[in-house]
């Protein structure tokens, strides 16, 4: 129960910073939509999705409310949309760096320092997991919009259609990955990628912290 409590606190902190970063970046780049909707805030209740929160409590997997953005307000819509998309995962990476120090030096200790280290460990691990997962290049994940800026001009129209409709194909891929590959063969492509990125990033952070 204590570990689950740490997980819930870490999830709220990681998710709040992630969505706040999206909103702040969009407002900074000229789109006030998120600000008008009260999303440029570190108040968790402005970012938590009711269904995502309930699933977090009962299933262990949840999500937050998407930040509303209007690319027409940006000076360069494609470039700025990619920056806004990357802002969320980048904020999680920064949070992972911040949590790495107490995690590295206090995790496994006794007393209050040990509890602080345990909480920092949950924040550290979840921050990197969310960073890795959100950078997968499939809609509606942030990675698909980060990739947008690298798409050649002649393919922009096709890629915009992919951004609007690609979530259907990603959902099918997730279902196949979970119910066919993982259940039948014990292998998940998604979790293999996330685990690889997690191992590389976490090792790098802990080496320099």
Nearest CA to 134 out of 120, 150, 148, 146 is that of 146
Catalytic one of 11, 15, 19, 132: 19
For the question of residue 19 being annotated catalytic, the response is yes
Query: What phi, psi does 39 have (nearest 5°)?
Result: -95, -10
Residue 43 phi/psi, 5-degree rounding, is: -75, 115
Q: Which of 77, 86, 70 is CA-nearest to residue 159? A: 77
Q: Are 68 and 19 in contact (CB under 8 A)?
A: no
Tell me phi and psi for residue 159, to 5 degrees: -70, -35
Question: Distance between CA 162 and CA 141 in Å, rounded?
Answer: 12
Active site residues: 19
């Amino acid at each position: 129960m204590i570990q689950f409590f740490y997980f819930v606190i870490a999830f709220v902190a990681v998710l709040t910073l992630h969505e706040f970063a999206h909103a702040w970046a969009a407002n900074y780049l000229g789109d006030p939509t998120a600000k008008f909707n009260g999303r440029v805030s570190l108040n968790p209740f402005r970012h938590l999705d009711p269904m995502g929160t309930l699933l977090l409590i009962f299933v262990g997997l949840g999500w937050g409310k998407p930040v509303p953005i209007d690319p027409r307000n940006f000076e360069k819509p494609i470039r700025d949309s990619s920056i806004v998309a990357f802002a969320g995962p980048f904020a999680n990476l920064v949070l992972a760096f911040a949590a790495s120090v107490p995690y590295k030096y206090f995790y496994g200790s006794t007393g209050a320092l040990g509890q602080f280290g345990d909480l920092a460990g949950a924040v550290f691990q979840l921050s990197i997991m969310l960073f890795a997962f959100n950078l997968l290049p499939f809609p509606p994940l942030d990675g698909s919009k980060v990739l947008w800026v690298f798409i050649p001009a002649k393919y922009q129209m096709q890629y915009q259609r992919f951004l609007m409709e690609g979530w259907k194909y990603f959902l099918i891929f997730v279902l196949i990955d979970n119910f066919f590959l993982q259940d039948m063969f014990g292998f998940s492509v998604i979790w293999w990628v996330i685990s690889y990125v997690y191992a590389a990033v976490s090792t790098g952070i802990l080496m320099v912290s």
